[in-house]
């Protein structure tokens, strides 16, 4: 009996909400737009927070800096890395953008934007 009462209560509340929306479409539109705007602002704030709290990328370790013990353990991993890099580099020709003009703290990312020389020429 309790489950049926809850179902009827939900149905009557839904009908009352629908009747209120039909009577006041302007307020429904206003609340809907406010909800969407609030969601967009919240998403933007979280995105900015995530990007600003990201740790800065560390420079790659030089091979001369490793000790002899670490070199033995990393030999297999180095071979796999070079194979993966060679396979990924041979797929598409990529134009790299020099980063000398950017300082590390200005938010510039090392991203290859152009996948071919044709796209680079079109962009220029």
Instruction: Report pLDDT digits (tens) over 53-92.
Output: 887 777 777 666 555 555 555 555 555 566 556 555 555 5
Burial 70-93 (b: 16+ CB within 10 A, else e): eeeeeeeeeeeeeeeeeeeeeeee
Q: Quick check: is 92 in a domain? A: no
In this prediction, residue 3 carries a pLDDT of: 82
State mean pLDDT over 1-8: 85
Q: Which tokens go with 123?
A: 């962009």
> How high is the mean pLDDT of the chain?
75
100 lies in a domain?
no
**Residue 3 maps to a domain:** yes
CA distance 32 to 30: 5
pTM summary value: 0.38
Q: Residue 115 in contact with residue 92, Cβ under 8 Å?
A: yes
Range of the domain at 30: 1-53
| 32 in any annotated domain | yes
Would you state the pLDDT for residue 36?
98
Distance in angstroms (rounded) separating the CA atoms of residues 88 and 93: 10
Task: Provide the pLDDT for residue 1.
Answer: 72
Q: Is residue 123 part of a domain?
A: no
What is the maximal distance between C-alpha atoms in the chain?
79
Does residue 44 lie in a domain region?
Answer: yes
Tell whether 19 is covered by a domain.
yes
Work out how many domains the chain is built from and give that number: 1
Q: How many Å from the N-terminal Cα to the C-terminal Cα in the chain? A: 74
Asked if residue 63 is part of any domain, the answer here is no
Q: How many angstroms separate the CA atoms of 86 and 73, rounded?
A: 21
């Amino acid at each position: 009996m309790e489950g049926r009462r809850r179902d009827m209560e939900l149905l009557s509340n839904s009908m009352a909400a629908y009747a209120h929306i039909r009577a006041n479409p302007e307020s429904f539109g206003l609340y809907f737009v406010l909800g969407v705007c609030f969601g967009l602002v919240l998403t933007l704030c979280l995105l900015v927070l995530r990007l600003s709290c990201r740790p800065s990328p560390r420079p790659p370790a030089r091979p001369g800096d490793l000790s002899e013990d670490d070199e033995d353990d990393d030999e297999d991993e180095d071979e796999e890395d070079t194979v993966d890099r060679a396979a990924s580099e041979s797929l598409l020709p990529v134009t790299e953008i020099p980063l000398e003009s950017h300082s590390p703290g200005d938010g510039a990312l090392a991203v290859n934007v152009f996948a071919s020389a044709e796209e680079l020429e079109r962009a220029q």
